Amino acid sequence: MAGEDHPFLRPLWRRVALVAFCVAWAIFEIFYGQSFWAMIAIGMAGYGAWIFLIAYKPGPEKEKE
Q: 3-state DSSP call for residue 15?
A: helix
- Give the pLDDT confidence of 27-64 residue by residue, as tens digits: 999 999 999 999 999 999 999 999 988 888 776 666 55
Report pTM.
0.79
Q: What is the DSSP letter of 55?
A: S
